[in-house]
Structure 1
Amino acid sequence: MQVSTIPPESAVLEDAVGVVHRPAEGPVRIVSLVPSLTELVCELGLADQLVGRTGFCIHPRDIVRKVAKVGGTKDVRMEAVRALDATHLIVNIDENRRETVDQLAAFIPNVIVTHPCASEDNFGLYRLFGRIFDRDAAAGRLAADLAAALDAARAAAVSLPPERVLYLIWREPWMSVSRDTYISATLRAVGWETVPPGDASSRYPEIDWQAPALAQAQRVLLSSEPYRFRASHLDEVARLSGRPTALIDGEMTSWYGSRAAAGLRYLVRLRERLAAA
């Protein structure tokens, strides 16, 4: 059994861009511009310290509905954030614009930049947040749960036949994900290998249904986000691709943080169900 753990407490608290952080002192006021990390903040017991979030931060619903909205992940309302007098800002390299973060950094003293690229990266994320915000015990519980989920995912990847999939995130234009995304890595953990859909320089490339690479796909997965694919799209995609199609919960593949373990378990169940069918 391969078990992963949070790095030791002696490790440096360094974020995705190399900034070293210290444990927070005094009152903490957090603004999160990343939906999945807003959920993580709440899961760590920091809901009372969360003062701002985006309109896309929708989980956990009963908590975030009471938290001030500051715009979207990319169109942030600067003055709305300034009014919250935040001590910490949580952002992500993929989801937030650098120029926006730079402007916010002018008046928020602590900016935590994240960039998880695979399920295993959540261990470092848990530790970073746990140590900064004095939530080590809660972070440890999340890490133990993720370690168990990763073991189950690896077992499923071994027991089920490997399968190449095309993962769709948008329609008109049709778009997919490159192999260096968190989504692709999460699928790979359970034995689903994403096919190269086109332009290797783009993380979220448009696809050409006639491209030779797509012939490698054995199945097409239609995500629920950011485009909300529905059952009505399954026949259309089956005609275009000539492959079996299935809907997939995009939050379970792309939301890192506290949802990572649940996402892996969901993917194992989905793989088993589709394989049996």
Structure 2
Amino acid sequence: MKTSLSPAAAAPLRDALGTEHRPAAGELRIVSLVPSLTELVCDLGLADRLVGRTGFCVHPRDVLKPIPKVGGTKDVKMDVVRALAPTHLIVNVDENRRETVEELAAFVPNVIVTHPCAPADNLDLYRLFGGIFHCADRAARLAAELGTALAEAQGVARELPREEVLYLIWREPWMSVARDTYISATLAAVGWDTLPADAGQRYPEIDWQVPWMAGVARVFLSSEPYRFRERHLAEVAALSGRPVAMIDGEMASWYGSRAAAGLRYLAALRRALAGVA
């Protein structure tokens, strides 16, 4: 798999909406409204250029403690962002409200819209950030690491039979993920296909009596956004009649620099649950 970001200057730097961005010039002041991409900004060596983040942007903790909070991913404090005078705003199609982003775009010169739908999409994300923020070398190293992790995930998916799984993100009501989500694509990379196969919503409510439940091989309880605990294992096992396991939600759902580590984590978990060393 090709992971090189070169030649960076040859291809336009376009975000998820097709907006073309130029390499930053002058003072760089970044506000990120996406937790996983705040982590990416730091891992690209740009922590000292980060002037604002949401309350959900918590990694790396020690680095982010002094960075001002601008609210949540969906309830952004406009006056706080305006006072920070950012040159660049990082947002995501799924995590931030369109009307919020449009309001911010009225006074932030550069709005970078992201929408990775599968682990491999991070390669374009690294190139985009590397080109805009003059950190192409660091971005290339992340791309190489992700290429290795993608190959490992593909190896596990070939090695073990594919399984259909139920990935729970909420309790009361019980909610799962549709196959067009980043979470589902990440699980699919190691051979776990999420159910339901067809869903009218990206995060559908679950009825334990639906016919497709018979196809579920195992159930995962995610650590986020609902904080499932060990005490929920027996409850879900009784409801589903299937093996149930805890899963690190950040490893399954965070893109950016977490993508490679997430794939390695899932590959190891897949092997462990299959009893393969």
Measured against the shorter chain, the TM-score band is over 0.9
Equivalent position of 1:122 in the other structure: 122
CA distance in 2, matches of 1:194, 1:8: 37
Q: 1:7 to 1:216 in 2, by over 3 A?
A: farther
Matches within 5 A, 1:1-277: 2-6=1-5, 8-9=7-8, 10-196=10-196, 200-276=199-275
Aligned-pair Cα RMSD in Å: 1.1
CA distance in 1, matches of 2:171, 2:197: 14
Q: 1:257 to 1:125 in 2, by over 3 A?
A: same
Deviation at 1:7, TM superposition (A): 6.3
**Aligned with 1:138: secondary structure?**
helix
Residues in 1 aligned to 2:92 and 2:109: alpha-carbon distance in whole angstroms? 17
Q: Deviations over 1:165-192 (max 9, x none)?
A: 0000000000000000000000000010
What is the Cα deviation at residue 5 of structure 1?
Answer: 3.6
Cα separation, 2, equivalents of 1:12 and 1:23: 10
CA distance in 2, matches of 1:142, 1:271: 23
Helix, strand or coil for the counterpart of 1:266?
helix
What TM-score does the superposition give when structure 1 sets the normalisation length?
Answer: 0.97
CA distance in 2, matches of 1:7, 1:195: 38
| Amino acid in structure 2 at the alignment position of 1:259 | R
| 3-state secondary structure, aligned to 1:270 | helix
Structure 2: how far apart are the matches of 1:268 and 1:3?
Answer: 21
Offset at residue 214 of structure 1 (A) = 1.6
- Structure 1: stretches of 5+ with no match in the other structure: none
Residue by residue over 1:224-259, the C-alpha shift from the partner in whole angstroms, topping out at 9 and shown as x without a partner, is: 000000100000000000000000000001000000
Task: Please give the per-residue CA displacement for 1:50-88, whole angstroms capped at 9, x wherever unaligned.
Answer: 000000000000111110000000000000100000000
Task: State the 4+ residue runs in structure 1 displaced beyond 3 angstroms.
Answer: 2-8
Question: Within 1, Cα distance between the matches of 2:84 and 2:161?
Answer: 51
TM, length-normalised to structure 2:
0.97
Contact kept in structure 2, 1:209 and 1:240, CA below 8 Å: yes
Paired-residue identity, %: 69
Letter in 2 for 1:42: C
Partner Cα distance (2:49, 2:61) in 1: 16
Residues 170, 226 of structure 2: 8 Å contact kept:
yes
Q: Which consecutive unaligned segments of at least 5 residues does structure 2 have?
A: none
Q: CA deviation at 1:197?
A: 6.5
